[in-house]
Amino acid sequence: MIPPIARNFVAGTTGPRALDHVADLNEDDVGGILNLLGEHYSKRPPADEDADEYVSLVDAIAESDLDCCISVKPSQIGLDVGDEVFVENLERIVTAADEHGIFTWVDMEDHDTTDVTLDAFEKLTLETDGNVGVCVQANLKRTPEDLERLADLPGKVRLVKGAYAPPKSIAYRDRARVTEIYKDLLEEMFQTFDDGIAVGSHDPAMIAHAKQLHDEYGTDFEVQMLMGVREDAQRDLARDGYRTWQYVPYGDKWFSYFYRRVRERKENALFAIRAVLS
């Protein structure tokens, strides 16, 4: 059983319960990005099992007619077992989703998984005519070069500041510096991308910056935020006509996700405390 504080951030332990949450989001014109919790499997069976769950999930989404897509972590579907296991399972998920017209996001994890993740994204987004998206992290020094590569591909790109802590030799660690780089990268995307820009941020200043860039360059974008974080702002953005999505985790591995979200950012802990008090 998920305690009340965690229920602010995790939409239950089952797919049907998560779909119920998405139905509520859709009432406020907010879309749902469903993520089955699980990661860093060292054996193939659990990776295959979660891939099977995703295939079943896209069938359920298609039957529900909800405004909903899915997001998958590479290490959840076999990357720690082997690159070929990850690619095989991701292809299986994306194929099933694409048959139903359902979009698939590929999350980005540790810095040493970037190349294989981007390679898999490129292959599958070309095969599905852009029905796949990928996440990139502003704190990595390589990201400007990665964005040059991604700008010419179909699909979508979610820009986040980066929650992991890579070595200083390959990443910026100062938070103020990362924020400035995020702004610069966002402007680069609005200048060079035709569309498919996803602003993965809860920072009001970054969202305001994206609105300004949209007015200046005319490039479409969407905003993505986590479940349980600034949900009033999510509804307000949707009400104002901005495409807004909520990242919705679910599953029985909720504790490690909840703990990490609270631990990795001071502001997340404050959000959790506010959720309890309200």
Return the number of other C-beta atoms located less than 10 Å from residue 16's C-beta.
10
Asked about 195 being catalytic, the answer comes back as no
Spot the catalytic one: 107, 110, 173, 174.
107
SS (H, E, C) the chain: CCCHHHHCCCCCCCHHHHHHHHHHHHHCCCEEEEEECCCCCCCHHHHHHHHHHHHHHHHHHHHHCCCEEEEECHHHHCCCCCHHHHHHHHHHHHHHHHHCCCCEEECCCCHHHHHHHHHHHHHHHHHCCCCEEEEEECCECCHHHHHHHHHCCCCEEEEECCCCCCCCCCECCCHHHHHHHHHHHHHHHHHHCCCCEEEECCCHHHHHHHHHHHHHHCCCEEEEEECCCCHHHHHHHHHCCCEEEEEEEECCCHHHHHHHHHHHCHHHHHHHHHHHHC
Contacts of 182 (CB under 8 A, 6+ apart): 138, 159, 161, 201, 206
Selecting among 48, 50, 158, 261, the annotated active-site residue is 158
Question: Does the annotation count 44 as an active-site position?
Answer: no
Q: Which residues are catalytic?
A: 107, 158
